[in-house]
Amino acid sequence: MPTVRVAACQIDPSLGEVDRNLDLISRFLTDAQRGGAALAVVPEAAVTGYGYASLDEAMPAARRASAVAADRLAEVAASLGIAVICGTLEADGEEIFNVALALAPDGRRFRYRKIHLPYLGIDRFATPGPDAPAVIELAGMRVGILICYDLRFPEAARVCALDGADLIALPTNWPVGVDFHPDLFAPARAAENHCYLLAADRVGSEGGTDFMGRSVFVDFNGSRLAVASDTQEQIIYGDVDVEAARATHVRKRVGEHEWDTIADRRPGLYERLLQPAVDRQHPVGDTLYSGDVE
């Protein structure tokens, strides 16, 4: 099976300017397709911007994006023959979800709602997604989708791997100062799950937050094969070897040094993962979910 070329479109969207941002995204997707990409990933909240100070401030952009973004991106995907994964905000009644839209050139549409929300930007006011990440077929690959802060949670990436992901796509908005995301978490999630990882970050400033760029493409050994600028809009490319990603049984020396991070799991010993954490900021004996703490 030949390799599949993928691209991360590192852009600087404008807060609240949905139509302007869609024009910008379309231009970058066109360039990505000309560069040979069969799949392109665009940053978190690229359609709407991220740095909102309240739910009310974000709602007009979220409603506009909900009305036009999927159709516009689907048209671009179909016309270019490229699969697209793009971050946006989605209005649902009086709630907002941080969403990644996935559009296939054959007209199929998917979405993933971010499940882990940090206290930053619109995520302070958004509703967590209700569903676990899922793997979808795009560009001849099995692709899992996470968004930004989800990368800090190994369980989310492992769900993608257990469903057979060849690639984890990560639309993200990394603020300056979280170097460990592209430098540590991205390689770790790729290596521990024996899959590729493509993170598309943004650059620029918004709502008092500076974003670090440094979009990254990582292979299943945890090697960073392409890294973008810290400050400039640009596209990075990588090639996914699907057969190699699926060969999870690694044989360094046959019969002497082998491993399989999927087959070697001991899920019967992991029941503790389904229980509340001991809260380290409260009295001993308290067991709270983070959502229980005000």
- Residues with a catalytic annotation lie at 44, 114, 148
Kindly state the tokens that stand for 4: 């599949």
* Cα–Cα dist 135/113, whole Å: 13
Q: What is the C-alpha separation between 223 and 195, in angstroms, rounded?
A: 11
